[in-house]
A and B are shown apart, each in its own frame.
Chain A
């Protein structure tokens, strides 16, 4: 019996691993995810460059303080941003200066009205006002200078005030299991989100593979040849395990790719400084695989049953939609989990076998899930898998030999009862 299941697993596995589609998706998914995660970070670091700003200081006394403040702000950063301020004759024509900006002679024009700092607002004119980093620097410089000027007029020492009003940043630390603290600016959460999406996509994708595989066996009429020697249950099991192995193979390739990318030196080689991939705790990786496997077995079984009951994908659409809904619900519930990872509702939802792979995994990244809940979730899932397999095996047994009329829910119930 084992030999036969192995033969089925082997066939299902090789048939899919040998396709171009498998390799294309294996390569494209990390590229896509990498793009989503790395490109914004990379773009942020590329906000640097050299800028020359024309300054029309109508007050006649703020050019130098603003220029010094810009230099001071930039000196604290390791960004490759340099801003050169060029003072203009206060009598210069604004329109003339604007046309010079247009001709790219200057990158921008800063106008400080004569009424400053008591009234009015400085103006910044540039063809590109989306250069976020540059704008921040200019705005903060002008602001600091004006505030300092007002403070001085009020008889206060700007240096002392600056020292007193220094911003206090919030240092976010994640408390680990052993009480250790790790600095985390949301990378872990970001990664958890990506992992949850991977579980969702792969369970859906590989579940659909199972359904299509069963439908194809029916439509090509090969199924009766096979079940005259392999029991329907063995065929179903072999198919699900074979396709699941394809999924694990894909994960393995991704893991190797990721290890290669996060190897020391590799990150620097790509030229992303300051973009650190957080180390993923081994426990999280372990449960990622566990929940993928359990989730796939649960959903794969359901999709197998649907494939067996119908003749075409169109006919299967309604039932397939219901199963897919179960997979989408956790995505909607993610907000609830994120807000209250330890709330009763979150705990209950994450223990529902259909939601566990995504929600319990998400909770693990947000909070310390008690081991009893982890064990409980696995036990519940295994129970659900056995139950679904028991039901679906009956539908499968009858369904794979059925052609023609499209079965309704009551027919499926009858198959289960009679089988």
Chain B
């Protein structure tokens, strides 16, 4: 696998508190990589160590196969969770400043910034002070500042927080466009439905450690497995007694039936139809939220 970013055995402690505990994962080039986990799991600390904003206690971060340093990190387009702008600066000047400190010449930065402002329909605001803009507009300016130097790798920490549904949609579309152009995107979030449709790969962090890692398709398959979603009037205990069924979970009005490996779903359907009214019978494809909750709960049991 060609990895643009490799994180190897990264750890960080604050006194007695372990913020990041020996995390390793790789971000495949061209992927949209979800760094997921509940609040306080260690996502932001991990990202900050990648960006060298805080020093790691141990471990390595490789960017394009080379250890990341203060110059190399600038190819990353980083949108921190704690973000803001200089309120007294004019919009265009601010963007030029952000571009300049990322290594673009002021002239080029100005050209690109103006083009992006037009694209976001903010052209008329170029000479206004940042503080005159609405919050939503400021978020857009922030995002333009992040991608102005055309980074091949974007690291976005909770990019959708504070965005209304329309802007969330717009940002998702933009990210999808960028991904299709080959930009690798790392998204960190705890709000899973926002990234379900975006991510190709995920790393789920819980309590400072990764508990789930890999391509989302494979993970869905693992968690879905031989599980079927059934809407039938048969009571739960009778469902559980059907041949090959190992477990039954309620899911709204429906039931999830897990089958033994190698058990044919068609046999299950036949027995169901024989005994009850079956309204629907589909393969269960778990969404990220299901996977997340199950993985976190299994982790809890595991620890206990």
Contacts and interface: CB of A to CB of B under 8 A. Distances in A.
Specify whether A and B are partners.
yes
Contacts of B48: 401
Contact of B82 (A7, A8, A224): A224
A11 B97 contact: yes
Contact of B86 (A220, A224, A229, A403): A220
Contact of B54 (A220, A230, A401, A403): A401
Interface residues of B, number: 27
Contacts of A3: 100, 103
Contact of B100 (A7, A15, A227): A7
Contacts of A227: 53
A220 B85 contact: yes
A229 B101 contact: yes
A4 B101 contact: yes
B29 interface: no
A225 B145 contact: yes
Interface in B73-99: 73-74, 76, 78-80, 82-89, 97-98
A15 to B, nearest CB: 6
Contact of B83 (A7, A217, A224): A224
Interface in A1-35: 3-4, 7-8, 11, 15
Nearest to B149: A229
A164 interface: no
B53 A224 contact: yes
B209 interface: no
A402 to B, nearest CB: 11
Contacts of A372: none
Interface in A196-250: 216-217, 220-231
A11 B102 CA distance: 14
A247 to B, nearest CB: 19
A220 B141 CA distance: 15
Given A231-B70, A401-B53, A224 B87 contact: no
B91 to A, nearest CB: 14
Contacts of B53: 224, 227-228, 401
Nearest to B80: A224
B142 interface: yes
Contacts of A226: 101
B73 A222 contact: no
B85 A222 contact: yes
B51 interface: yes
Nearest to B79: A225
Interface string A395-407: 0000001010000
A228 B98 contact: no
B80 A229 contact: no
A221 B101 contact: no
B83 A221 contact: yes
Contact of A15 (B54, B78, B89, B142): B89
A368 to B, nearest CB: 47
B86 A15 contact: yes
Contacts of B98: 225
Contacts of A403: 82
A308 to B, nearest CB: 14
Given A225-B80, A225-B142, A401-B53, A230 B86 contact: no
A221 B53 CA distance: 14
A226 B142 CA distance: 12
B88 A230 contact: no
Given A7-B97, A7-B100, A231-B70, A221 B54 contact: no
A403 B80 CA distance: 15
A216 to B, nearest CB: 8
Contacts of A401: 48, 53-54, 82
A368 B79 CA distance: 58
Contacts of B51: 228
A228 B82 contact: no
Contacts of A8: 101
Given A15-B88, A224-B53, A225-B142, A230 B101 contact: yes
A3 B103 CA distance: 8
Contacts of B142: 225
Given A3-B100, A4-B101, A225 B70 contact: no
Given A7-B97, A11-B97, A228 B80 contact: yes
28 contacts: A3-B100, A7-B97, A7-B100, A7-B101, A8-B101, A15-B86, A216-B86, A220-B85, A220-B86, A221-B82, A221-B83, A221-B84, A222-B83, A224-B80, A224-B82, A225-B78, A225-B83, A225-B84, A225-B85, A225-B98, A225-B142, A225-B145, A226-B101, A228-B76, A229-B74, A229-B103, A230-B101, A403-B82
Interface of A: 3-4, 7-8, 11, 15, 216-217, 220-231, 401, 403
Given A7-B100, A222-B85, A223-B82, 18 more contacts: A4-B100, A15-B89, A217-B86, A221-B83, A221-B84, A222-B83, A224-B80, A225-B83, A225-B84, A225-B98, A226-B101, A227-B53, A228-B51, A228-B53, A228-B76, A228-B80, A229-B74, A229-B103
4 closest cross-chain pairs (CB), A and B: A221-B84, A220-B84, A224-B80, A222-B84
